[in-house]
Chain A
């Protein structure tokens, strides 16, 4: 299996603070990788390297390479907007736009000038079906997105992210703001989406990482302590810090 995402000796600074310390990581295509670790360990920051959302933050500085399909995503001629078409993101708190369900899903296409109604309709159906939301909303796509429940809103955000047919989907604690049943639905969804996308999920919930991911990376204080198959990490981690975190003996 080819390595979809490669990070080599990455260091990240916010002004003088060193937040990511010499991390190297390779993620396979069509797999689910989980980033776990205590708060403030850098996992969200590292996740955001892949779609360059950190660029928005003042004082951000990066060293090292981050490659998608073998190409550096921080190179000069890389347009950030093109990168974000290929690398989608779903946030912790569902953040649908205050528009209709339809408008939400096609936003990614609209800003790229796609206006063909048939194409847009097809995209909406495909994306909503893949996010297991189609049956619940197909009768009224003009309804406001904000009228949906929390779990539905998050699935809408997933549909919105995959509408542009990215190859990678980044999820920053996608289920943490949801009730357990919605959370379980999102996990099932991730498991199904794996066959088409490469998914990276940051999570505080270790059981979730166990259920959903193929590989797991444990971050601590900006370092990558251990990265291995989830089975290995959960059965027999190599580093005692990993074991302490997973068994809840931390802090």
Chain B
């Protein structure tokens, strides 16, 4: 075989390999989801959603866990999003480009890779103990905010960086202040990217169990939180709890809860993507 034939072969082989990998991943995912859905979809009912946890699998429901997840999601969002976006904006737009800034950027990226359980320990000490917030929803939210903050900061910086310099120059040349330029040009232009980063970050938060366990989310909570300082549980923890019980009934419950969690995740992503698309349309790229 001459050179050209070898190259052609490599080309084809790579393509086949790529297709295989893609479908392998999708296939595995399909099997898992399919299995879970089959096991759990029948268990889903209005009672399942509104029942409190119980020792009896038939009576147990996910209400408290679901409410806990919603609370956590909401609080984390309102804490982490403004903090993360504005921190990212500040660092990218106002920060000086010196060695310190470069080191800072590297370290923020590193923070995103730290195991989440470490954040749990940090949150336990600072928020639960030192600040006296105890094992509350607020503690959980603050901890998760710390966890996802680096993700939001990095994706905000990347999106803002991607806005062409010519746009900023044009705005400044017309007499806009730096802030006006950010508000009228940079933010709208980078909004899509920022929103994507936020979606990713929140999706991560929704699925976390370990740090919340450390911080004190309980597996058995007979009531839904009514204030930020109440005790709480979340779906992932509930699922973990049920899945490790021997009774078959609880395994089915776990499957059902997973389905609910998946629905929540898809719903959240869907809403965020909808808003991102609307945003992009306004920009008319």
Q: Which residues of A contact B (CB under 8 A)?
A: 51, 53, 56, 58, 80-85, 88-89, 91, 93, 95-100, 107-108, 110-112, 144, 146, 157, 160-161, 164
Contact at B173–A51, with CB atoms within 8 Å?
Answer: yes
Contact at A81–B170, with CB atoms within 8 Å?
Answer: no
Residue B189, interface by CB 8 Å? yes
Of the stretches B19-27, B146-154, B176-184, B257-265, the one at the interface is: B176-184
Given contacts A97-B185, A98-B285, A146-B284, contact A88 B174 (CB under 8 A): yes
Residue B97, interface by CB 8 Å? yes
Contact at B169–A95, with CB atoms within 8 Å?
Answer: yes
Contact at A91–B174, with CB atoms within 8 Å?
Answer: no
Contact at A95–B174, with CB atoms within 8 Å?
Answer: no
Contact at B175–A53, with CB atoms within 8 Å?
Answer: no
Given contacts A58-B97, A98-B189, contact A111 B174 (CB under 8 A): yes
Q: Inside 8 A of B118's CB, which chain A residues have their CB?
A: none
Interchain CB contact (< 8 A) of A146 among B97, B172, B174, B285: B285
Interchain CB contact (< 8 A) of B166 among A83, A91, A111: A91
Look across to chain B and name the residue whose beta carbon is closest to the beta carbon of A86: B175
Look across to chain B and name the residue whose beta carbon is closest to the beta carbon of A80: B175
Main secondary structure of the interface of B (DSSP, over half): helix
Residue B229, interface by CB 8 Å? no
Minimum CB–CB distance from A22 to chain B (whole Å) comes to 27
Look across to chain A and name the residue whose beta carbon is closest to the beta carbon of B164: A95
Minimum CB–CB distance from A164 to chain B (whole Å) comes to 7
> Can you list 20 A-B pairs, Cβ within 8 angstroms, ordered by A?
A53-B172, A81-B177, A84-B174, A88-B174, A89-B173, A91-B166, A91-B170, A95-B166, A95-B170, A97-B171, A98-B167, A98-B188, A100-B284, A107-B176, A111-B174, A111-B184, A144-B284, A157-B170, A160-B170, A164-B175
Given contacts A93-B166, A98-B284, A144-B284, contact A88 B173 (CB under 8 A): yes
Given contacts A95-B167, A95-B170, contact A82 B284 (CB under 8 A): no
Contact at A108–B166, with CB atoms within 8 Å?
Answer: no
Contact at B172–A161, with CB atoms within 8 Å?
Answer: no
Contact at B284–A99, with CB atoms within 8 Å?
Answer: yes
Contact at B175–A56, with CB atoms within 8 Å?
Answer: no
Q: Inside 8 A of A84's CB, which chain B residues have their CB?
A: 172-175
9 other contacts beyond A107-B171, A108-B175, A160-B170, with CB at 8 A cut-off?
A: A51-B173, A58-B97, A84-B175, A88-B173, A91-B173, A96-B170, A98-B167, A146-B284, A157-B170
Q: Inside 8 A of A161's CB, which chain B residues have their CB?
A: 173-174
Look across to chain B and name the residue whose beta carbon is closest to the beta carbon of A48: B173
Minimum CB–CB distance from A166 to chain B (whole Å) comes to 9
Q: Inside 8 A of B173's CB, which chain A residues have their CB?
A: 51, 53, 84, 88-89, 91, 161
Q: Inside 8 A of A95's CB, which chain B residues have their CB?
A: 164, 166-167, 169-170
Minimum CB–CB distance from A156 to chain B (whole Å) comes to 11
Residue in A81, A88, A98 whose Cβ sees the most chain B Cβ within 10 Å:
A98
Residue B283, interface by CB 8 Å? yes
Q: Inside 8 A of B172's CB, which chain A residues have their CB?
A: 53, 56, 84
Given contacts A53-B169, A91-B169, A93-B166, contact A112 B175 (CB under 8 A): yes
Given contacts A107-B184, A146-B284, contact A82 B175 (CB under 8 A): yes
Interchain CB contact (< 8 A) of B170 among A51, A97, A100, A164: A97
CA distance A111 to B184 in the complex (A): 9
CA distance A56 to B172 in the complex (A): 10
CA distance A192 to B98 in the complex (A): 46
Interchain CB contact (< 8 A) of B174 among A82, A93, A100, A160: A160
Look across to chain A and name the residue whose beta carbon is closest to the beta carbon of B173: A89
CA distance A233 to B225 in the complex (A): 82
Minimum CB–CB distance from B264 to chain A (whole Å) comes to 34
Look across to chain A and name the residue whose beta carbon is closest to the beta carbon of B185: A97
Minimum CB–CB distance from A115 to chain B (whole Å) comes to 14
Contact at B283–A164, with CB atoms within 8 Å?
Answer: no
Interchain CB contact (< 8 A) of A107 among B96, B174, B177: B174
Q: Inside 8 A of A85's CB, which chain B residues have their CB?
A: 175
Look across to chain A and name the residue whose beta carbon is closest to the beta carbon of B180: A111
Minimum CB–CB distance from B199 to chain A (whole Å) comes to 22
Minimum CB–CB distance from B192 to chain A (whole Å) comes to 11
